[in-house]
């Protein structure tokens, strides 16, 4: 699986201000989904164990 073909541009161009993992929008969205899932899980655990 090639991320360059997914993004439609050179992966080494225009990503100086971002970490190497966030080189394509697909990885950005995946990262956001993972973070939101972890946060929702933490909030669910806190509300059910300390309510």
Nearest to 24 by CA among 8, 43, 38: 8
Q: What is the pLDDT of residue 22?
A: 62
Q: How remote is the C-alpha of 30 from its chain's centroid?
A: 4
Q: What is the pLDDT of residue 40?
A: 98
What whole-number distance in Å separates Cα of residue 27 and Cα of residue 9?
15
pLDDT tens sequence across 30-51:
999 999 999 999 999 999 987 6
CA 21 vs CA 3, 36, 41, 42: distances in Å: 11, 17, 23, 24
Contacts of 4 (CB under 8 A, 6+ apart): 10, 11
* Domain segments of the chain as ranges: 27-51
pLDDT tens sequence across 1-24:
554 554 555 555 555 566 666 678
pLDDT above 90 for 25: no
Note the pTM of the prediction, 2 decimals: 0.49
């Amino acid at each position: 699986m090639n991320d360059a073909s997914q993004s439609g541009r050179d992966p080494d161009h225009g990503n100086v201000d971002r970490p190497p993992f966030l080189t394509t929008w697909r990885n950005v969205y995946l990262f956001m989904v993972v973070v939101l899932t972890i946060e929702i899980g933490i909030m669910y655990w806190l509300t059910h164990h300390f309510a």
